[in-house]
Structure 1
Amino acid sequence: MLCLVVAVSDGDTLTARCNQRGAYAQPVKVRIAAIDAPESRQAFGSRARLNLLKLCAGRTATIQPHETDRYGRTVASVRCGNTDVATAQVRAGLAWVYTPYAKQHPQLVPLQREARASKVGLWSQARPLAPWDYRRRYQRR
């Protein structure tokens, strides 16, 4: 599906208008498959969002939907131009590989190992906190 990226919420979520019958339809919220970026208030959260903005904002994206998550977002593989967004975020040390959903993206695990060994991005921290642990710890009840 060919889409125009109109907004970036955080390091792993964007909003796009996808081409249907020659016109762009209503905006669709897209969660990038197989990664989990730091939350906005978490260390490297702003940098992850800025990197995704640089990669995709205002650009044409190819979106391959996989499923709809419990929040109604389309979970999809996303390419902005010639760049696979999940690969770019992991390589830059700005997202974790979300292993339960990474089967369709086997290249991500070795890229995360390389980023971690090179202490790139969030891996420069002594003890980086995974976003799922951050949400569990700081989620408002």
Structure 2
Amino acid sequence: MGNVLGFLCGHFCNPSSDSQPPHGVSYATAGVSALAHDLFDFEITSQVPQGLSKHVVSSKKAQANWYRKLADAWKLEKPPPRTPEEASRLVIQTLKRHQKKDVEGLLTFYGLPLPHTLVELSAPAPTTASLPDGVKFELETLPVDAKAVADGDTVTVYVSTAHTRESSCIPIEVRNAAIQRSQARNAKNFAKADALHKTITDAGYRVLTFQNEEILARKYRIRLRGIDAPESGMPYGKEAKQELTKLVEGKCLRVLVYGEDRYNRCVGDLYCNGKFIQEAMLKKGFAWHYKAYDKRAELSKWENEARAKRAGLWASSNPEQPWEWRKGKREGK
């Protein structure tokens, strides 16, 4: 299957330390993604990961049996494990009749907590930190390409299918196309590979290459919640797009998704290295507070600060509101 899906988002996104746990995991939660990736891989190839035998005592045949059980158990978890503790509990409970050395070796391989470090193993796994009210789900993106920024309030992002939320819902036709594309490329049948990639992109996915590694990723279009930037044909439209590009280009984003708009874009709050992107856009004067859809007082505060400083679009004496500009366009004015 080549390197498809072999790249983990954690490779780019702020490792917590310079130490490297087993299996190349760069920080704790990446072990969850690594396990999810390998279970997905196993369902397609029936192969367990290389290097596992160094940590366990049983045969490759026994290891394949573990991965078969774990893949079934993982798919039944709703939602799938998100934290190392949740993943560790799933492994221990699924393989509770197997040798202790094998279970602990498997956990060590992924850098997951060992049984004696977990509190009340038989009790339900603790819930993850609660998200803000109204958030439907959270995304952790791959680094953003500059071309993915459409304007000052819309950006296209990609999320690795190794992420626990994505790994359990990849359409089977996309899985198959990704494998067949890799095989076609290895055989230098690039026409077939391109046709298969079109199948993947038509389904809302894409195979991306980073540092000679390929990864299957899901595409999301994000509309920044609570702000409205000048359109490209308006004064400061170009500058707004440039500012958003500067904030997100080449960086991983955390996206809190609240819902979808009528254009099937996810409406969400964007964070990058702890910085709230909407706040930055408002304070620089490259967006309006979109009060019709978001009543947060802090957004009005940041807009008013920019107005007082005559920053960005507020340098104009009477800047046009983007929603009124769009209305005029629709009405042919």
- Give the alignment's TM-score, normalised by structure 1: 0.92
Bigger shift: residues 67-76 or 15-24? 15-24
Gaps of 5+ in 1: none
Bigger shift: residues 19-28 or 105-114? 19-28
RMSD of aligned residue pairs (Cα, Å): 1.5
Q: 1:97 to 1:40 in 2, by over 3 A?
A: same
**1:10/1:40 contact within 8 Å kept:** yes
Equivalent of 1:2, from 140, 146, 165?
Answer: 140
Q: 1:17 to 1:43 in 2, by over 3 A?
A: same
For 2:154, the equivalent position in structure 1 comes to 13
For 1:96, the equivalent position in structure 2 comes to 288
For 2:316, the equivalent position in structure 1 comes to 125
Gaps of 5+ in 2: 1-138, 164-214
**2:161/2:218 contact within 8 Å kept:** no
In 2, Cα distance between equivalents of 1:43 and 1:123: 11
Cα deviation code 1:2-42 (max 9, x no counterpart) = 10223100000000001333465222110000000000010
For 1:135, the equivalent position in structure 2 comes to 326
| 1:59-138 to 2 correspondences below 5 Å | 59-103=251-295, 105-138=296-329
**2:160/2:218 contact within 8 Å kept:** no
Equivalent of 1:42, from 220, 230, 234?
Answer: 234
Equivalent of 2:222, from 21, 25, 30?
Answer: 30
Specify which structure has the bigger relative contact order, considering alpha-carbon pairs within 8 angstroms and separated by 6 or more residues.
1
In 2, Cα distance between equivalents of 1:65 and 1:20: 18
Give me the identity figure in percent.
Answer: 34
Cα deviation code 1:25-66 (max 9, x no counterpart) = 222110000000000010000000000000002210000100
In 1, Cα distance between equivalents of 2:153 and 2:228: 6
Rg larger for: 2
- Give the alignment's TM-score, normalised by structure 2: 0.40
